[in-house]
Chains A and B, each alone.
Chain A
Amino acid sequence: METPFEALRGTGVPVEPAAPGDAPRWVAYPGTTAEVAALMRVSAEHDLAVVPSGAGTKLAWGNPPERCDLLLRTGRLTSLEHSPGDLVVRVSAGLPVGTLASFPGVAQELALDDPLGAGTVGGTLATAVAGPRRFRYGTARDLLIGVTVVLADGTVATSGGRVVKNVAGYDLGKLLCGSYGTLGVVTEAVFRLHPVAPERRWITVEPDSLAALDGLVAALAASQAEPSAVEVDWPGTGSAPVVAALVEGTAAGERAAAVRELAGGHPARVRDEAPGWWNTLPGDPGGVLCELRLPPAEVGRTLREVTACGPVRVRGSAASGVLWAAPPPDVLPAFVSAVRDRLGGRLVVLAAPYDAIEGIDRWGPVGALPLMRRVKERFDPDRRLSPGRFAGGI
């Protein structure tokens, strides 16, 4: 009887034993969709649990998988096919999202900011992470127009295609956004691109208090100068927030001046460079990171209310109502309950040291969880893909 390791090796894909003490037993480095499919078929035959991984920037996010026999590294999935005339790009899942920020010879970009810097296409889709310009361009799910995925049994499926406008069949790409590697291994994605803005300006405003935040953010977001992003950075209790808006495109200077007019008397200036905190996550690597979702008009009130919990650094897309928060581990329980129970906001603890997360429901209530579970049961009935990574045993 062939051992699982021999069978994995038999696919011809590079597979190595993992370092002793690591959770997975083996690590595989497929270079094509067909190789991923071959690995998944062998894994199905040998009942191996598989965890896909890109650059590993978000491996600490979500629950640790209950079981991991094979770590599937996507680093060799790096093909790229750019169709400049159609403003689309087809890429393999292992490429960093950052490589799609520019293309040789033409001013086009994938208008998706990656606050982690090195995240791959696959990992970005799986965790549905996005940065400041979500306000204008949406997130990966809005820019994704086609996807290729390998299912737990090795089936290769595509949906969507290479054209932006397309309503044929279900959009599997959407389903995979936020799936944390529990539904399938994304191997390829097709994105729509946007022209790179010829000019950019940032308008920073320093309101004197949190009380002024909501009015300010609402005014900037509603500006007909059309900012692409309206972000907030709040160093925590006792300090005042900074708001920054980005204006991109033609006549950015003139438009930025119009946006600055909306600062309502708070100190404001226009700059050519982004503030240092722009498109970065608050807190330290290895520390606590939460994602909050609130109605945009309640951001200021929420920050005021959580002040009582202790020091919490908050940053993010105020105008979209999506914020990152980094409370110290000992503040986490009070912070979670303040946001969820008292303020009615949605909060997910993305990453936290083991002892800090104990006793806390990482995901909070998810209304559609029963339906998600049914989707998981159809796609991966044996629970072999990143089992337990997401809420409710998914």
Chain B
Amino acid sequence: MPDTALDEPVRRFLEILGPGSVITDPVRLRTYECDGLTHHRTSPGVVVLPETAEQVAAIVRVCARHGVPFVARGAGTGLSGGALPRTDGVLVVTSRMRRILSIDLPNRLAVVEPGVTNLAITEAVREQGYYYAPDPSSQQVCSIGGNVAENSGGAHCLKYGFTVNHVLALEIVTPDGDLVELSHTDPGYDLLGAFVGSEGTLGITTKVTVRLTRAPQAVTTLLAAFDDVESGGRAVSAIIGGGILPAAIEMMDALAIEAAEAAVACSYPEGAGAVLIVELDGPSPEVAHQFAEVRRICEENGAFELRVAADPAERAAVWKGRKSAFAAVGRISPAYIVQDGVVPRTALPEVLADIERISGEHGIRVANVFHAGDGNLHPLVLFDDDEPGAAERAELVSGRILDLCVEHGGSITGEHGVGIDKSRYMTKMFSEDDLATMQLVRCAFDPEGLSNPGKVFPTPRLCGEAPGVRRGAHPLVESGQAEQF
């Protein structure tokens, strides 16, 4: 049932955008009921499709005036439910904000609208020898606005860093509906850095200035097959310990390889208990030298087969299995959970052994795919949703893996974000005071809590009124549903 509290805002949206850009038809609304985390579903109250920053600002001002929550959505590929809409709220979709506004090679930057896909930026400058460095596996579809919200990484962030290291300025609409520029040239608090990764809870990005990176002179990709994950892990430690910073080091275990083989026939070496993909890039003489080193290290640590990809086609073949891994497990399991956690790299062997033990204890298979260079695990927890209790056990195993990450001094998410999925784990990683301090930032940007409420933080909190002006207790506080802050 449409929420009547939305009637007036919807009328205003129609005035601002016209009927072609406001969706209230329940059937069409269902397109937007979830993001990449598909087991959380809610139909939005209304969907708006603005084409300009001014329209976004006008929409947000209407929301602010009527106290209506709003959620931004890019391509909807997020894996933590960050773009999960609200029935009582507005979903602001950026899919019609897809213009590349300018490309400035002398200053190595591009200015783009938030709905532009990650890959589109690289495609626009590739011929001139540049690219946009952060490369999430979803880069063909995910939006730069979503990348900014999630501070997305990619296989190559080991060397090149994350979205936050490549964004030079943002234009945002604050939760009061003001258009503000946050720039790396501003003195004072690094609000730009704080906004990146805030998962849509501090406002809506309407313009992004990204740094463009010069393409490397040489790229070499190596696939190494090992008997087991332990020897692969030792090779990773030796490479990093040897002072080499590859562009990427990825690992897959036997189960993940089996899945990839079934899905895309990537023909990885037969009998491998683990494969390592190491990509080196940079100046040719440096890459040549490091390649020899990496090769030697892999052999010393028991690699029984090495394949070298020298051209883009061969490289694509090596990456094929890795890039398809998430979807591929669908071939070997009816259902699965994609987990995302981080451990210090030195803790990898112990944590992997623990995962194996937990998996055995609960009779739930776990396939491991991970960014080994920076300890970012993506365990794929496999289960049969037809089997009674299996989903619960898988959920348990998945949660235990996050516990392991926290126990080893790591993180509950390396790149997929907290969203709705992991807000309850935040208290495992952060103290009450840590979270309360983060909440100060939230309250500074969004005192009414209208921008993507219910995401990232575990308990809904309210921002205290300005000192001196005390009104009655908020109804949510009185009913015990929220804490005054």
A-to-B contact residues, CB < 8 Å: 83-88, 107, 128, 138, 141-142, 149, 151, 155-159, 161-172, 174-180, 183, 194-196, 198, 214, 218, 221-226, 249-251, 254-255, 258, 291, 293, 295-297, 321, 346, 348, 363, 366-372, 374-375, 377-379, 381, 390-391, 394
Write the chain B residue with the least CB distance to A217: B106
B282/A368 in contact, CB under 8 A: no
Residues of B near A348 (CB, < 8 A) are: 187
A297/B106 in contact, CB under 8 A: yes
B286/A251 in contact, CB under 8 A: yes
B426 within 8 A of A: yes
CB < 8 Å: which of B191, B290, B414, B436 contacts A175? B191
Q: What's the minimum C-beta distance from A138 to chain B, rounded to whole angstroms?
A: 6
CA gap between A176 and B431 in the complex, in Å: 19
**Given A165-B414, A166-B411, A198-B243: A372 and B191 within 8 A (CB)?**
yes
CA gap between A113 and B120 in the complex, in Å: 35
A165/B374 in contact, CB under 8 A: yes
The 6 A-B residue pairs whose C-beta atoms are closest, nearest first, are: A174-B193, A251-B285, A195-B243, A157-B437, A224-B217, A297-B106
**Given A368-B186, A381-B467: A163 and B413 within 8 A (CB)?**
no
16 contacts between A and B (CB under 8 A): A155-B433, A157-B433, A161-B409, A165-B374, A167-B150, A167-B414, A170-B198, A175-B194, A176-B189, A178-B187, A180-B188, A195-B244, A224-B283, A291-B187, A297-B106, A348-B187
**Given A171-B194, A175-B194, A250-B285: A158 and B445 within 8 A (CB)?**
no
**Given A224-B216, A249-B286: A178 and B243 within 8 A (CB)?**
no
B191/A375 in contact, CB under 8 A: yes
B-to-A contact residues, CB < 8 Å: 104, 106-108, 129, 150-151, 153, 157, 161-162, 164-165, 174, 178, 180-183, 185-194, 196-198, 214-217, 237, 240-241, 243-245, 282-283, 285-286, 289-290, 342-346, 371, 374-376, 409-418, 422, 426, 429-431, 433-438, 440-445, 456, 467
B193/A177 in contact, CB under 8 A: yes
CA gap between A182 and B196 in the complex, in Å: 22
Residues of B near A296 (CB, < 8 A) are: 106-108
A107/B243 in contact, CB under 8 A: yes
Residues of A near B371 (CB, < 8 A) are: 165
Q: What's the minimum C-beta distance from B425 to chain A, rounded to whole angstroms?
A: 8
Q: What's the minimum C-beta distance from B70 to chain A, rounded to whole angstroms?
A: 18
CA gap between A249 and B192 in the complex, in Å: 31
A85/B409 in contact, CB under 8 A: no
A172/B240 in contact, CB under 8 A: no
**Given A175-B191, A226-B282, A391-B187: A169 and B443 within 8 A (CB)?**
no
Write the chain B residue with the least CB distance to A174: B193
B185/A346 in contact, CB under 8 A: yes
A169/B440 in contact, CB under 8 A: no
CA gap between A228 and B245 in the complex, in Å: 15
B106/A161 in contact, CB under 8 A: no
Write the chain B residue with the least CB distance to A221: B108
Residues of A near B237 (CB, < 8 A) are: 85
**Given A178-B189, A371-B174: A167 and B413 within 8 A (CB)?**
yes
CA gap between A394 and B444 in the complex, in Å: 14
CA gap between A143 and B191 in the complex, in Å: 17
A168/B413 in contact, CB under 8 A: yes
A250/B286 in contact, CB under 8 A: yes
CA gap between A16 and B444 in the complex, in Å: 36
A369/B188 in contact, CB under 8 A: yes
